[in-house]
Structure 1
Amino acid sequence: MRALGLILAGAILAVPALAQDAKKQGEKNWYPSKYGAEDTKGAMNNLSPAGTIEAAKLVKTGKTYALGVVTGPTTPAYPPRSYSATILQSNDGQGGAMGANKVTAHDDIIHSWVGIGTQIDGFAHLGIDHHYYNGVKGNELYSPAGVTQYGTETILPTATRGVLLDMTKYYGKAVLDPGTAFNRAEIDAAAKAAGVTIRKGDVVLFHTGWMTKSASDPQGYIAQQPGLGVEGAEYLASLDVVMIGADTAALEAIPFEDPTKPFIVHQTLLTKHGVHVLESINTAELAKDGATEFMFVLGQPRFKGAVQMVINPVAIR
C-alpha cells in the first residue's frame, strides 16, 4: 500500500513539470474555452430540455440501475484516502424515549474523503501547470475551506441520454488487460456494434469488466487498469459529450500510454474541454442486460467547495 501511494504521489507531482513542457510546445491554446472566457459549466452547456425529453423516450420498461458502488471502509481507494462512520445514539439505548409516542433515534458522522468509490471529478480537481478549466489559476480558486470556483455543488442536475460501450465484447475478453487503451477506432467500432451514435449532450460509459477485481484485489484494482486513451478523450470531447466514465478507478489506462505523461486523459477532459470524469461506475448489470442507451440521471450531493464527490447515478430503461 505504501509503495502504491508513492507511485501515485510521484505521478501527481510530475504533472506540473510535464505541463510546463507542454506549454513550451505551444499547447496552451486550450483556453479560453469555446464556450466563452468566463464560462464555468464546460461541456454541460450541451445539456438541454430537449435532450432530457429525448432521453425520457428511452424509458420503455421502467427498470432502474444503481450505477454507484457501496462506499465503505473496504472500498478500494488511492492512499491516503479512507472512509469511516460513527453512529451516535441520540437517545436510543440510554433509557429515555422522547414524547408520548416514544421516539428513539440514531445519528451519524461520516469521516471520509469524497474521492472514494463511485465519484465525479470537478474542474478544480486536476489541472495543467497550476491552471484549471478556462485557464483559472490554482491560487485564484484554492481555499483550505473549499475551492471558491468549480466546487462540485455547481455541477448542473443531469437527466440526459446515456450510452454504454461494452469493450469486453469488442476485445472478446470478460476482463480487459491492464494498460489496454481504447481510442477513436475502438470507440467507433464498439458504438457501431452497439448500434448507437454518440451525440451532443450524451454521457458515455465504458464497461471493461475491471470492477470484478475491486473485491478480490483492491490494490491491483487501483494500481493498474484498462481505460480511455488520450486520442479517444479528444475524440469524445469533440462530439460534445458532457461526462465520460467507466467501471475503473481512473477512467484512463494505467500503465499510462506515455509513462512521462500521467493522468493526461484527466487533463484533456477536465482542464482542456470541461468534460466531467466519472470513476468506478457499476456498469455490470447494464452490460449483462445488453443495454446500449438509457436515460442517465445524476443529482450529486451539493457539498460546498468540494473538488470531487461520491455519487450514485441512476440509469433508467
Structure 2
Amino acid sequence: MLKACVLGCSMSLLAVMSSASAQDWTKSKWGPNDEIGAANYMKPELVKSAAQLVKTGKTYALGIPVGADTPAYPPRGFKITVVQPGQAGNPGLGPNHATYNDDMLNGWVGVGSQMDGLGHLGVNHVYYNGNKIADFGDPTGLKKLGIDKVPPLVTRGVLLDMAAYYKTDVVKEGTAFNVKEIEEVAKAQGIEIRQGDVVLFHTGWLSLLGKDDKRYNAGEPGLGAEGAKYLTSKGVVAVGADTWGVEVLPFETGNVFEIHQILLAMNGTYILENMDTSELAKDKGYEFLFVLGQPRFKGGVQSMINPVAIR
C-alpha cells in the first residue's frame, strides 16, 4: 500500500531491470494496446483446472474488515457514515412505514485489503506498457489502466507459509523473500508455482493489527527484487501477502518501492495487499481456487477487495 506517486529511477535501477531481460519493459508482449497485463494468462482451461482443487467446499475470506482505525500508508484514511435520507422525525415511507439505512464512504481506496492496478506505480512517469502519465492521467479517473479494466481473477492460488519456514509466528521486518526462500518453501510444501497462479505469502504480520500498529506500519518482511523477477518469469497473475506493501521494508537497496515497479510497471503483475492468510496457513491450504471480482471503479488506481479462497 503506497500513495499514488511518481518515482524517479536511478541508472543503477535501470541496469538491474534491463539485466533481467533483453526485452524493453515498456513494451508488453501482449501488444501495444494491452491494459490488463498478466491477467492475459487466465484462460478458460486454467479456470476449469483450478476448479478441480475444490474438495471440501471450505471458503476463506482473504479481506480484512476496514474502519476508521485501520492503519494505512500516510496520508491515507477512511471513514463510513450511515444516514437515513429524508426519514428524520417521521415513521417511514408509505403506509407500511418503510425505513432504511444508507452509507457514505469518505476516504482513500488504498486502505485495508486492496488490489494495486497497473496504473498505480511507474518509473519516472512511465507505467505499464509504456504509458506516460501525461497521456492517460486525469484527476477524474485514469484514461488507461483503470482498475475497471481488470477481468475477474479466477485461478489457482498458492500459499507460501514463510512464518513456518522461519519457525516463527511473525517474520521479522526486513526479511527478504528471494529465489532460495521461495523455492525451498514451495519444495517443503510439495507444490510448484505455475503460469497463471496467484501467489500469496503468509508472514503473520497482519496479527500485529490492533496490538502494535506502530510496528506494523514501520516496516515488514516481504518480496525482494530477485524474488519478484523469479515470480514474474513464472508468469503469475498476482502476488499478495498479509502485509501492507507486499515487498520487503526496509528496502534491500536505496531504490524506493522497486518491487512494485518490477511487478506492476515492468510485468503487469497485480499486487494484493493485507490478505488475511491466517486460516489458510492454519489449515495448510497451500493450493486452492482463488476468486476475485473487484469493485470496478471507472478509471480507478486501486480497489478494496475481499478475495475468496476455496478448498
Q: TM-score range by the shorter chain?
A: over 0.9
**Aligned-partner SS, 1:215:** coil
- The residue that corresponds to 2:277 in the other structure is 283
Query: Which residue identity does 1:30 align to in structure 2?
Result: W
1:152 is the counterpart of 2:147: yes
Q: For 2:265 and 2:288, how far apart are their aligned partners in 1?
A: 27
Q: 2:73 aligns with which of 78, 91, 95?
A: 78
Q: Which shows bigger deviation, 24-33 or 234-243?
A: 24-33
- The residue that corresponds to 2:163 in the other structure is 168
Q: For 1:23 and 1:65, how far apart are their aligned partners in 2?
A: 39
Deviation at 1:40, TM superposition (A): 1.2
**Given that residues 91 and 106 in structure 1 are in contact (C-alpha distance below 8 angstroms), is that contact kept between their aligned partners in structure 2?**
no
Query: Which residue identity does 1:134 align to in structure 2?
Result: N
String of CA shifts for 1:219-258, please: whole Å, max 9, x gaps.
Answer: 3212200000010000000001000000000000000011
Q: For 1:87 and 1:94, how far apart are their aligned partners in 2?
A: 17
Write the mapping of 1:94-113 to structure 2, written as runs, cut at 5 A: 94-113=89-108
TM-score where L is the length of structure 1: 0.92
Q: 2:228 aligns with which of 230, 233, 253?
A: 233
Q: 1:116 aligns with which of 111, 123, 127?
A: 111
* Alpha-carbon spacing, 1:26–1:70, altered in 2? closer, same or farther (3 Å): closer
Deviation at 1:123, TM superposition (A): 0.9
Q: For 2:202 and 2:174, how far apart are their aligned partners in 1?
A: 15
Q: For 1:177 and 1:26, how far apart are their aligned partners in 2?
A: 27
Query: Which residue identity does 1:298 align to in structure 2?
Result: L
1:195 is the counterpart of 2:190: yes
* Alpha-carbon spacing, 1:308–1:90, altered in 2? closer, same or farther (3 Å): same
Query: Which residue identity does 2:264 align to in structure 1?
Result: L
Q: 1:306 aligns with which of 296, 300, 307?
A: 300
Deviation at 1:25, TM superposition (A): 8.1
Q: For 1:249 and 1:298, how far apart are their aligned partners in 2?
A: 19
The runs of 5 or more residues in structure 2 that have no matched partner are none
Q: For 2:16 and 2:170, how far apart are their aligned partners in 1?
A: 37
Q: For 2:307 and 2:89, how far apart are their aligned partners in 1?
A: 38
Q: For 2:262 and 2:277, how far apart are their aligned partners in 1?
A: 23
**Given that residues 134 and 271 in structure 1 are in contact (C-alpha distance below 8 angstroms), is that contact kept between their aligned partners in structure 2?**
yes
The runs of 5 or more residues in structure 1 that have no matched partner are 1-7
Q: For 2:140 and 2:204, how far apart are their aligned partners in 1?
A: 37
Q: For 2:163 and 2:150, how far apart are their aligned partners in 1?
A: 31
Higher helix share: 1
Query: May I ask how many residue pairs the two structures share in their alignment?
Result: 305
Query: Which residue identity does 1:167 align to in structure 2?
Result: M
* Alpha-carbon spacing, 1:21–1:142, altered in 2? closer, same or farther (3 Å): farther
**Given that residues 92 and 106 in structure 1 are in contact (C-alpha distance below 8 angstroms), is that contact kept between their aligned partners in structure 2?**
no
**Given that residues 13 and 255 in structure 2 are in contact (C-alpha distance below 8 angstroms), is that contact kept between their aligned partners in structure 1?**
no
* Alpha-carbon spacing, 1:166–1:59, altered in 2? closer, same or farther (3 Å): same
1:177 is the counterpart of 2:167: no
Q: 1:253 aligns with which of 235, 239, 248?
A: 248
Q: For 1:291 and 1:26, how far apart are their aligned partners in 2?
A: 33
